[in-house]
Each structure stands twice: as structure tokens, then as C-alpha cells.
Amino acid sequence: MRTGSIGRGLGLATALAALLTAVFMAPASANRAAPADGPQAVKAATAAAPATFTHPGVLVSRPQLDFVRGKVQAGAQPWKSAYDQMLASKYASLTRTAKPRAIVECGSYSNPNYGCTDEREDAIAAYTLALAWYITQDSRYAQKSIEIMDAWSAVIQDHTNSNAPLQTGWAGSSWPRAAEIIKYTYSSWPNSGRFATMLRNVYLPKVINGSNSNGNWELSMTEAAIGIAVFLEDRTAYDKAVTKFRGRVPAYIYIAADGALPKTAPGSGLDTRDKIIGYWQGQSTFMDGLSQETCRDLTHTGYGISAISHIAETSRIQGQDLYPEIAERLRHALGLHAKYQVGAAVPSTLCGGTLKDNLGPITEVGFNALHNRMGIAMTNTQTLTEQQRPAGSNNLFVAWETLTHANNPN
């Protein structure tokens, strides 16, 4: 074949590859008309960490914190009541004593529980105290947050037993939120480097490769990974976490555009209809917003939805907004579950007509992003969100999101 023919052949191949990429990378919402309260069709963002990381930039940004501080100082609601709730909690105590241990051992449902509750709650306390520091500018809160983080970074070596990946994900989601605020808004933290080493050596290896268990596991692990990546300014870990996120969200929340069956996560091994239905808790009727764990219970579903919102929020702060890619799924997931939690009758086609438990204090971040920033009508989610204010903590990895994200425009 002549050189010119080769060039034309390569040109055709390149064009075809570009066309196929555009087709397969387009979000599902672009392939059908958006519902009346749905977002416009959106383009997927490129999978790349920011050239320069934004700090503080895990779940909350400096402009968001400034907004909150202004509202609290003005006595405005719901922020003032949310702040009072936070400050009255055990997590804001200035007499708290950290309980670090070298090996945190967590079995199924935290049985055995050797340091599991202590670690999660100390991490939430460090974040709570960091928020209190920023809002009050009282250095006692910053010093107590540092004391807790230093206590753990001096001691912990590993997480063991069956729940180790999830435990690492939960605690590893809260630690970098605290660390970001303290490192970048407080005057001095001599052991911040040791804390970074702890995150890199003890936490990141346990979460960065994900999990093929229930979706809330991998999503919480991914949340920890992306937060740690921001604190460490680790672009490779950030990119890997975003790739995990993009593979898992469509496999956790179903929308009708997916077809007859939900999507599956890369490497899941769910290669038959029966396996997929089994993984979806035996549910064989699929509807917009159904979660892989809806028929398990709403609490675990809430963990997954919360982690999705947190990851997207961090990505937005870092300049790579993942919300448009997952908005259709997230809005339906929030709306479907909120609808039944606020009192609608559950149809027999959904989990046999019975839903267990409740979502928990997890709707503020996603609702603020989708409704207030993107202009999506979310009546049921709004009703539930306002009923639950001020949203407190689930004592695992969610804390004070009415305070940080209610109607926050930044």
C-alpha cells in the first residue's frame, strides 16, 4: 500500500476511534430527553488531577468556610442552630483525650471492635474541632484538633480483620478534612509531615485499589482516597480515585437509560442476570434512582449516596467538577429514597413493599449542589433535608453538613 493510502487509513481509523469514544463516553442523560426537573445533557470531564491543588479543599473550601462563619456570626438560621448543635456535641470537647492504637482491628459489623469506634470518632472530632477553630478563630480548638491528629500519627500502623478496608475508608474520609483546614488556615502544625506519612503509608494502600463488596464500601474507600490525594498532592492517586468513582457510581445507582439491567463495576465478575439481581439484593424491577443496596436498607444506601456527594464536592473544589457526570443518577437516588422516607407508600415492586431504616443526615451536600447550584427541582429531597435540619453526625464519616453546606453558594 502507498504511503498516502496508509495516511488516509490512519485518518479514518482516528476519526472512527474519536466517534466511538464520543458515543461510549457520553453520560446516560445525554442519550434521552431530560425529565422536567432534570439537568441538561452534560459532557464528561477529563480524568485528570488539577495542576495545582486547592487548599483547604476536601469537602469544604475556604470560601465555603467564610460563608458559614459569616452566617454563624450573624446568628442566621439554619447555620446558627447547626453550629450550636456541633459545639454541644462530644466531638467539640476541649477535654477530649485521643485513644490511638497501633493496630485497629475491625471484624464484620465492627465485631471485634479494637479501636474502631475510637478511631472513627477521634477523626470526626479532629474535623469538628477544625471547623470550630475556623468559625471562632479560637486557637484552643485548633490545638486540640492537632493534638488528636498527632496522637494517631505517632502510633497507628495498620487496620486488620474483615472490615479493615471499610474502617480505613471511614476514618480516612474524616482525617484529611481536618488536616486540610488546620494545615492551611492555622499558624503552626509541626507534625503535619508525620500525619501525611501516616495517610500515605497506613491509609492510602488500604483504600486506593477499591473493593468488589457492596458499593458503599468502595465509595467510602474512594472518598478517603481522593481526600488523602488532595492533602498529599498526589496526582496519581487522585486520578486513580476518580477512575474508581466513574466505574462505581453507574454500578451503584440505576437509571432507565442503563437498559434492562444495572451496569456493573469493572472487575466485579457480575456477568449474568442472576448474579446482578443477587448483588442488587434480589430486586429484579429497576427504576430511576434505585441503589444497589436499597433493598438491603436505607442506612447503607445513605452511606453510598453520601460518599458520592462528598467525592463530587471535593472534585468541584479542585476545579474538576464531577457533578455534571453523575447528576442524573444522584438526583434520582436522593429523590427516590427521600420520597418514601417522607411518607409515600412503598409499591410492592420495590423491595417487596418494605424499606428498612433511613438514609441518615446525608442529603445536604448533594441537595445543595444539584438544587441550589444546578437549579434542579428536588421536592422530596428538599422536604427531607429541611425536616432533618440541623443534620448532625452518623458517627462514622458524616458530620455537620447543614452547617457546612446548607444553601452554601460557594
Residue 202 · residue 290 · CB < 8 Å: no
Task: Answer yes or no: is pLDDT of 119 > 80.
Answer: yes
| Mean pLDDT estimate for the chain | 91
Q: pLDDT tens-digit profile of 263-290?
A: 999 999 999 999 999 999 999 999 999 9
Q: Which of 217, 211, 221 is nearest to 173 (CA)?
A: 221
Return the closest-CA partner of residue 226 out of 372, 96, 47, 389. 47
Find, among 175, 220, 167, 222, the residue nearest to 196 by Cα: 175
Q: What is the spatial order of strands in the sheet that 103-106 belongs to? A: 113-114, 103-106, 158-160
Distance from chain centroid for Cα 144: 26
Q: What is the CA radius of gyration of the chain?
A: 22
Q: Which three cell numbers stand for residue 193?
A: 509531615
CA dihedral defined by 126, 398, 304, 77, rounded to 10 degrees? Answer: -140
**Predicted pLDDT of residue 255:** 98
Question: 96: which residues sit within 8 A by CB, 6+ positions away?
Answer: 90, 122, 125, 144, 148
Residue 10: its pLDDT value, please? Answer: 34
Residue 204 has pLDDT above 70, yes or no: yes
The per-residue pLDDT for range 4-46, each reduced to its tens digit, is 333 333 343 344 344 333 333 333 333 333 333 333 333 344 5
Strand, coil or helix: 387: helix
pLDDT tens-digit map of 352-400: 999 999 999 999 999 999 999 999 999 999 999 999 999 999 999 999 9
Contacts of 4 (CB under 8 A, 6+ apart): none
Q: What is the pTM assigned to this prediction? A: 0.89
Contacts of 122 (CB under 8 A, 6+ apart): 96, 98, 99, 100, 148, 151, 152
